Amino acid sequence: MTRTTPPRPYDLPALFPALEQYAQAAVRLHPRRGEPTAVESSIGGPLLWPAKEAWPACGLEHEDCADEPHAYTLAWRAYLEDRDRREREGGLDWEVERRRAEELEERFAAEDAGIAPPLIPLAQLYFRDVPHLPWPDRYDLLQVLWCPRDHPDAETPYNPVFEVRWRRAESVETVLDAPPLPLVCNGDYVPNRCVLHPESVTEYPLTADLPAVLAGEIRAWEERIGNGTAYDWDASVAPGWKAAGYGGSWGIIDPYPVRCECGERQLPLLTASSGEFDGGTGGWRPVEEAGTEWEFADPVGVTIGRGYTLQLYYCPASEDHPNRTEMF
């Protein structure tokens, strides 16, 4: 099913012609719960991974205060979905449900084995579905994995860490059927399996990342119309899971150019979000889902920090240069 962003309430290029030079294409991924296969684009779905290629593991130090058995995370989510279904079909005995939840927790126990834990799939993006990805002359598939635990010594501390693979799908002869799973995880970092409904949109930089004169004109316009979020929240940058574009609202630190070690400015590759929209960005909800309230607000089920966004960057000079991350 197609997902379509409603027309923005303000025509930014008409209001501010100088913005045209800063326009960037982004792809809203619109993940929705489903059962994708390895030959489809997905969030949290199976990867088209060569059987002969080693599965990546994380060698960094982990903070374990939020860890729980990975199998429990999956079983708990399945229980909640079943409970919600039963509640819709009739009343629940909440004392019985409490005992069921306690019994489920007691069934699972796992500790960090002290070895490098395997990563889990985060995103698989086929170029045929997701335009505007780099190097389409050499690749047609982007795979992103991450370690679903907190990392105190990572570039963006106390977050998952990413690993990227660029591929030609035709080069994968035999697909790995059963990749290894970690024993423990932070449940907030385990995505639900989602199919994608990609949509290309145009984004513009936030006012904090624009030249001072242009940013001042935009703020003065917002003051005149009595809407202090008209540009940043309502019109310039789409919320949710995305590829390319500008990313999201810098709310924790001030914007800065993300530089590669080679000196090149790195660009957004994938934006992992704590939801598709919130109370301030509900106007970005697809027209096909109008009136659905919060049903599709967080299909992936990932939470970054206190509801933030984690962005993965790439160096346009070479896919072999290290990727960088930032949380905002």
> pLDDT tens, 49-64?
999 999 999 999 999 8
Mean pLDDT of 173-195: 96
CATH of the domain at 39: 2.30.320.10
In a domain? residue 282: yes
Q: Cα–Cα distance between 292 and 274 in angstroms, integer?
A: 19
Q: How far is CA 48 from CA 2, 92, 110, in A?
A: 24, 41, 28
pLDDT the model gives residue 223: 97
Cα gap 246→12, rounded to integer Å: 16
Last residue of a domain, one of 53, 84, 111: 111
d(CA 309, CA 94): 35
Residue 224's CB is within 10 A of a number of other CB atoms, namely 9
- The DSSP line for 62-74 is -B-TTEEEHHHHH
**pLDDT above 80 for 252:** no
Per-residue pLDDT, 224:
97
The CB-side HSE value for 131 (13 A sphere, CA atoms) comes to 7
The confidence score (pLDDT) of residue 322 equals: 96
Say if 73 falls within a structural domain. Answer: yes
202 with 80, same domain: the answer is no
Residue 109: band (very low, low, confident or very high) from pLDDT cuts 50, 70, 90: confident
Q: Are residues 190 and 200 in the same domain?
A: yes
**And the tokens for 267?**
């660009």
Mean pLDDT over the full length of the chain = 94
Based on the fold, state whether residues 151 and 291 are members of the same structural domain: yes
Query: What letter represents residue 276's amino acid?
Result: E
Residue 50 lies in a domain: yes
Per-residue pLDDT reduced to its tens digit, 117-132: 999 999 999 999 999 9
Other C-beta atoms lying within 10 Å of the C-beta of residue 248? 25
Q: In 10 A of CB 191, how many CB atoms?
A: 22
pTM: 0.94
Residues 75, 187 within the same domain: no
CA distance 67 to 296: 27
Mean pLDDT of 298-326: 96
Q: Are residues 122 and 105 in the same domain?
A: no
- Is it the case that residue 247 has pLDDT exceeding 90? no
Of 80, 95, 111, which closes a domain?
A: 111
Residue of higher predicted confidence among 247 and 24:
24
Q: Which domain holds residue 213?
A: 12-64+112-327
For residues 130 and 26, membership in a common domain is answered with yes
Q: 3-class SS at 141?
A: strand
Summarize the confidence of residues 4-28 as an average pLDDT: 96
Could you give the count of Cα atoms lying within 13 Å of 178 in the half-sphere of its Cβ? 0
Number of independent structural domains in the chain: 2
* Amino acid letter for position 177: D
Burial (CB < 10 A; 0-12, 13-18, 19+), residue 325, is: buried
Lowest mean pLDDT among 33-47, 94-108, 123-137, 194-208: 94-108
- Which tokens in the block code for residue 194? 């989602």
